[in-house]
Amino acid sequence: MDFPIFHIDFIGNRLLIAVDAILHVLINHAFAVGALPVVALLEFLGMRSQDPRWDNLAYRLLKIIFILTTTVGALTGVGIWFSAALVNPAAIGSLIRVFFWGWFVEWLVFVCEVSLIMAYFLSWQTANRSPETKLKHLRLGIFLAVFSWITMAIIVAILGFMMDPGNWLTERTLLSGLFNPMYFPQLALRTTLAMVMGGITMICLSYWHTRDDRGFRATVTEVLSKWSGIWMLGLIVASVWYYRVIPELMLANIPVAFATQEYAGWNGRLKVLLIVGLMYVSRILWVSVKRPGQVHGAKYLVSALLLFAMLGQFERVREFIRKPFIIGNYMYANGIRVEDYPLLQRDGILQHATYASIREVTADNQPAAGREVFEQACTRCHTVNGVNSIRGQLKNMYGDKPWQSEAIAAYIENMHGARYFMPPFPGNKAELNALSVYLASLQKRAAPFNGAQINGIPKPDHISTAISYGILPNLGIHHGEQR
């Protein structure tokens, strides 16, 4: 409510974050958290066996990890901060206030992680001078793997908090936010999945790097298959644990995430798909251990791609099923706190939107005021013509017959009850009618909706001045989320 609205209509705010975040998670889990322990393991095996092939393979794999994590991984990590702050500053601001010290530690750990991977990679060639220097170098790799996991462990606490804050809603402490009901199950799931992904991804890459030495390739494949297989057992247990702690209302949103209302069918199908996928990967690992060198490289590639697809789909579904909230039971996906709804529904959302150009709905400004209401209440999830377009939703509901603003208003007023994942309408009756008039007008004229970054930022009026002096409450990001 206190910030200009950023909006790109052709892609939408949800997809903007999703593309960047999923790419970051895939690289982080497979290459940073999951693959670095494998590199340290290969280096250890080289030291123990005095076989330089292990060391050479470990160095080649580390080079790939180093390039990916310090370029695409680091850039997409920054991209998450940048896009989240643009799309929903109220949510990211509230999370920073709750987890300030957690994020502070995470930033320190991340700096150490970047320093460690640079030191680990750049000192590899000189570490072979003596057994003592090589042992120190191995310890450097172990520290790097641990710090990479700690980075993920802290972020997982925040992701779990956004799904179910638990006791934080009453206690408002950092520890109650960190150790939310979703934390340990999700941490177990992500840790084991990352280790399996890292192991199988490194099998794929080592398969290529050892193409001229099939005997050594079979040995490497056997070792990494055993490593991945052990973590696969943990992944199965963690998956069941995580599924059992997901709130029922979120489970009910799963079929909607797959664009169908057949809850029983899709919930059951999703379980079957996950089980079949894990069984396929488990079978490949089992055969690799029993008959080293007998599994074709394409099957490892299929296994790796399957795990990447599962993680990408997991991220997509996890982000959707927590709706209508961006922070569970605390802040709706539109960036408005649950406790602010009574005030906004009484006074109107435009009265408390600092950068809105219209404050009051009249008979003459209904379409323009409705557009302002759409901007404040809807654009964090919907576009006009792009991804998840409101025009497409209305066309599916009303078809080609004339869209009636009265019917649209009646639907919006009751949509939260009919479709739980949609937040309740946050404004008053006049704003509801104005929004419905604007939406009905989109049937004939649906120009792309541009945010403040294109239209310019309206000059705040006396409302924002009153807020700055403490005369009116500052909605959106509030001090005191953590006491």
Query: Is 319 found in the same domain as 202?
Result: yes
* Same domain for 48 and 138: yes
Query: Do both 124 and 271 map to the same domain?
Result: yes
State the sign of the Cα–Cα–Cα–Cα dihedral 407, 410, 413, 418: negative
Q: What b/e readout covers 168-195, taking b as 16+ CB neighbours within 10 angstroms?
A: beeeeebebbbbbbbbbbbbbbbbbbbb
Residue at 3 is within a domain: no
Instruction: Write phi, then psi, for 327 (nearest 5 degrees).
Output: -130, 115
213 and 249 inside one domain: yes
- Neighbouring-strand partners of residue 327: 331
- The answer to whether residue 92 sits within a structural domain is yes
pLDDT of residue 274: 79
For residue 480, tell me if it sits in a domain.
no
Interatomic CA distance for residues 140 and 127, integer angstroms: 11
Is-contact 256 421, C-beta < 8 A?
yes
Tallying the residues shown for the chain, one arrives at 483
**What separation, in Å, do the N-terminal and C-terminal C-alpha atoms of the chain show?**
23
Q: Is residue 474 part of a domain?
A: no
Residue 131 placed within a domain: yes
Q: Which residues contact 121 (CB under 8 A, 6 or more apart)?
A: 62, 63, 66
| Residue entry with tokens 């393979």 | 57
* Residue ending a domain, choose from 332, 367, 400: 332
Shared domain check, 346 and 309: no
pTM passes above 0.95 = no
The amino acid present at 298, given as its one-letter code, is A
Number of H helices, E strands in the chain: 22, 2
Q: Is the peptide bond before 324 cis (omega within 30 degrees of 0)?
A: yes
- Specify whether 293 is located in the same domain as 381: no
Cα dihedral across residues 259, 191, 225, 210: positive or negative: positive
C-alpha span between 265 and 258 (Å, rounded): 11
The total domain count for the chain is: 2
Same domain assignment for residues 103 and 216: yes
* 403 and 445 share one domain: yes
Do 22 and 59 sit in the same domain of this protein?
yes
Q: What are phi and psi of 35, to 5 degrees?
A: -90, -30
pLDDT at res. 264 = 42
Cβ atoms 338, 418 nearer than 8 A: no
- Round to whole Å and give the CA distance between 129 and 110: 29
d(Cα 89, Cα 6) in Å, to the nearest integer?
10
Task: Determine, yes or no, domain membership for 476.
Answer: no
Q: Determine, yes or no, domain membership for 443.
A: yes
Look over the chain and give the mean of its residue pLDDT values, rounded to a whole number: 89
pLDDT of residue 469: 34
What pLDDT, on a 0 to 100 scale, did the predictor assign at position 262?
A: 45
**Nearest by Cα to 14 from 387, 420, 477:** 387
pLDDT in tens, 47-95: 999 999 999 999 999 999 999 999 999 999 999 999 999 999 999 999 9
Yes or no: say if 321 and 76 are a contact pair by the CB < 8 Å rule. no
Among 386, 192, 190, 220, which residue's Cα sits nearest to residue 300?
220
DSSP letters, 237-293, are HHHHHHHHHS-HHHHHTHHHHTT---HHHHHHHHHHHHHHHHHHHHHHHHHHHHSTT
Q: Locate 311 and state its tokens.
A: 């993680």
Residue with tokens 């580390």: 62
CA dihedral for 111, 112, 114, 115, sign (positive or negative): positive
pLDDT in tens, 80-136: 999 999 999 999 999 999 999 999 999 999 999 999 999 999 999 999 889 999 999
Boundary (domain end) residue, out of 332, 352, 387: 332
Burial class (CB in 10 A: 0-12, 13-18, 19+), 289: middle
* Cβ atoms of 381 and 333 closer than 8 Å: yes
- Nearest CA to 39 among 16, 23, 20, 59? 59
pLDDT digits (tens, 9 = 90+) for 225-256: 999 999 999 999 999 999 999 999 898 888 77
Q: Is there a single domain that holds both residue 245 and residue 378? A: no
In a domain, 482, yes or no: no
> Do residues 377 and 427 touch, judged by C-beta distance below 8 A?
yes
Alpha-carbon Rg for the chain, nearest whole angstrom, is: 26
Band the pLDDT of 459: cuts 50, 70, 90: low
Rounded CA separation 70/225 (Å): 27
Residues 91 and 68 in one domain: yes
Residues of the domain holding 162: 13-332
Q: Which of 275, 302, 332 is the last residue of a domain?
A: 332
Residues 321-372: pLDDT tens digits?
999 999 999 999 999 999 999 999 999 999 999 999 999 999 999 999 999 9
Same domain for 402 and 292?
Answer: no
147-169 pLDDT, tens digit each: 999 999 999 999 999 999 999 99
Nearest CA among 3, 7, 2 for reference residue 371: 7
| Biggest CA pair distance of the chain | 84
* Whole-number pLDDT of residue 472: 41
What residues form DSSP beta bridges with 331?
327, 337
